[in-house]
């Protein structure tokens, strides 16, 4: 079994989520600024593009998946829902959805790290 990089990956995602939340807060703060264009950061899965995750086959009866079936790179850039007369493209509804996405991703990240930590501690006690 090779080294486990889960904590490093979780830390990278936490930094990404912090940056994305800061960007969302800037968008909300400038919701009434004429000409302000809403911004967002690149999706986190671009970090994973350099190292695609492959499933381990430990039994001959396991299904074989092609690289295309395990690829996580498909993303689509979304534009703002509306641009008002002043040229501002911030949609508060869209920013709140992004904020809840960040909250959900952070909660999932924390839960995975907690579970992995408990598993490592249980292995160390045995």
Q: Which pLDDT score is estimated for 74?
A: 34
pLDDT at 87: 78
Distance (Å, whole) CA 25 – CA 82: 18
Neighbours of 3 (CB within 10 A): 6
84: CB partners within 8 A, 6+ apart: none
Cα–Cα dist 55/36, whole Å:
44
Q: What is the mean pLDDT of the chain?
A: 78
pLDDT in tens, 10-62: 888 899 999 999 999 999 999 888 988 888 888 888 766 755 555 566 777 76
What per-residue string of b and e applies to 55-70 under the rule 16 or more CB within 10 Å gives b? Answer: eeeeeeeeeeeeeeee
Q: Residue 96: what are its φ and ψ, rounded to 5°?
A: -65, -35
Neighbours of 52 (CB within 10 A): 11
pTM > 0.85: no
Domain residues of the chain, as ranges? Answer: 1-24+91-125
Within 13 A of 66's CA, how many CA atoms are on the CB side?
A: 2
């Amino acid at each position: 079994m090779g080294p486990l990089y889960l904590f490093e990956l979780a830390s990278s995602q936490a930094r990404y989520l912090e940056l994305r939340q800061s960007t969302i807060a800037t968008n909300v703060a400038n919701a009434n600024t004429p000409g302000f264009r809403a911004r967002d950061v690149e999706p986190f899965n671009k970090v994973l593009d350099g190292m695609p995750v492959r499933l381990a086959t430990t039994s001959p009866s396991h299904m074989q998946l092609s690289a295309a079936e395990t690829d996580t790179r498909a993303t689509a850039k979304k534009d703002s829902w509306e641009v008002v007369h002043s040229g501002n493209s911030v949609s508060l509804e869209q920013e709140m959805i992004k904020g809840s996405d960040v909250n959900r991703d952070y909660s999932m990240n924390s839960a995975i790290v907690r579970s992995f930590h408990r598993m490592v501690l249980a292995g160390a006690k045995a």
